[in-house]
């Protein structure tokens, strides 16, 4: 990977050349290994996972960061959801997550680059809003805030202060209240295709 011999320990680690690209089916094993290493064995028990389970990510919104040697260094996916309802109608949005960067590359800006690209791609594809469960100090720099998701809830336990929202269009989350539920295509559709 990017290990250094002890006698070079005082030198800064070289930053790997990184390329952001769309995820492909060939990335699955490396992505799953990266997620397991970063999030541990209980990652599939999270409330966000209940929304993602047996669903396909939103079209064109599965991204990876790859080294110039072809090593997967980071991943982010977005999922179609209804962010509660407004006036009885579901509020279309995306659920972002998980965002993970390899421990060998933490602090190099890969997570931020993936976030900027994910938000830009979402906006370019015409989506109105994004919600996520994460650390506010990191996500606030991309425009996310707890106030936008104040009246939304996740299925199962979650930490209220970590539920954040971002309106990609003015007012997209205004008045949205209730349970965040999946609306994306079932994963079984991929098998049938």
Task: Write the pLDDT tens digit of every residue in 85-129.
Answer: 999 999 999 999 999 999 988 889 999 999 999 999 999 999 999
Q: Report the CATH number at residue 138.
A: 3.40.630.30
The confidence band for 38, taking pLDDT boundaries of 50, 70 and 90, is confident
With respect to residue 10, please indicate whether it lies within any of the assigned structural domains: no
Determine the average pLDDT of the residues in 177-183. Answer: 97
pLDDT value of residue 56: 95
Span 40-91, pLDDT tens digits:
777 666 778 889 999 999 999 999 999 999 999 999 999 999 999 999 999 9
pLDDT at residue 15 greater than cutoff 70: no
Q: What is the pLDDT of residue 1?
A: 47
The answer to the question of residue 97 being in a domain is: yes
Is 121 domain-assigned?
yes
Q: What is the mean pLDDT of the chain?
A: 89
pLDDT of residue 13: 55
Q: What is the pLDDT of residue 11?
A: 55
Domain of 113, in residue numbers: 18-192
**Mean pLDDT to the nearest integer, 169-186:** 96
The pLDDT assigned to 113 comes to 96
Q: Please, which pLDDT band fits residue 9 given cuts at 50, 70 and 90?
A: low
Q: How many domains would you assign to the chain? A: 1
In a domain, 55, yes or no: yes
User: Is residue 174 one of the residues assigned to a domain?
Assistant: yes
Residue 147: the pLDDT is: 97
Would 43 be classed as within a structural domain? yes
pTM above 0.85, yes or no: yes
Confirm whether 175 is domain-assigned: yes
Residue by residue, DSSP assigns the chain as -----GGGTTSPPPPPPEEEEE--GGGHHHHHHHHHHHH-TTGGGSHHHHHHTTBPPPTT-EEEEEETTS-EEEEEEEEEEEEEEETTEEEEEEEE---EE-GGGTTSSHHHHHHHHHHHHHHHTT--EEEEES-HHHHGGGT-BGGGGTTEE-SS---GGGEEEEESSTTTTTT-EEEEEE-SPBTHHHHH-
């Amino acid at each position: 990977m990017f290990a250094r011999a002890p006698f070079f320990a005082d030198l800064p680690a070289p930053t790997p050349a990184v390329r952001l690209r769309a995820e492909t089916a060939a990335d699955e094993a490396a992505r799953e290994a990266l997620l397991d290493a970063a999030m541990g064995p209980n990652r599939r028990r999270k409330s966000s996972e209940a929304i993602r389970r047996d669903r396909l990510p939103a079209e064109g919104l599965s991204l990876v960061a790859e080294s110039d040697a072809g090593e997967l260094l980071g991943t982010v996916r977005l999922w179609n959801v209804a962010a509660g309802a407004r006036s009885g109608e579901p509020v279309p949005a995306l659920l972002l997550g998980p965002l993970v960067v390899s421990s060998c590359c933490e602090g190099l800006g890969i997570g931020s680059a993936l976030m900027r690209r994910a938000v830009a791609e979402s906006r370019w594809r015409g989506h109105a809003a994004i919600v996520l469960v994460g650390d506010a100090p990191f996500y606030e720099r991309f425009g996310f805030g707890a106030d936008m998701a104040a009246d939304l809830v996740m299925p199962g336990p979650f930490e209220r202060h970590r539920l954040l929202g971002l309106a990609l269009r003015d007012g997209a989350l205004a008045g949205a209240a209730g349970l965040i539920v999946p609306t994306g295509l079932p994963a079984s559709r991929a098998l049938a295709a």
